[in-house]
Structure 1
Amino acid sequence: MKIAMWSGPRNLSTAMLYAFGNRADFAAWDEPFYAAYLAATEIDHPMRTEIIGAHETDPVAIAREISGPNPGGKAHWYMKHMPFHMVDGFPLDWAEECVNVHLIRHPARVVASYVAKRERPTLRDIGFQQQVELYERFPGPVLDSDDIRRDPERMLRRLCDRIGLSFDPVMLAWPAGPKPFDGAWAPHWYGAVHRSTGFAGAEGSLPRLEGEAADLADAALPFYGRMATEKMG
Structure 2
Amino acid sequence: MTVTIQVPEPLDAEQTPSRRRVVLWTVFVTVVILTALAFFAVGRLTVAAQQVADDGADAGFARDMQAHHAQAVEMALAVRDTSANEEIRAIAYDIATTQQHQSGQMFAWLQEWGLPQAGTEPPMTWMSAGTGEHGTAHQSQPAATPEERMEGMATPEQLQALRSASGADADRLFADLMIRHHQGGVAMATAALNLAQTARVRDFAAGLVEAQNAEILALQDLRARL
TM-score w.r.t. length of structure 1: 0.29
Q: Which has the higher strand share?
A: 1
Greater RCO (CA < 8 Å, at least 6 residues apart): 1
Rg (Cα) greater in structure: 2
Q: Which has the higher helix share?
A: 2
TM-score w.r.t. length of structure 2: 0.29
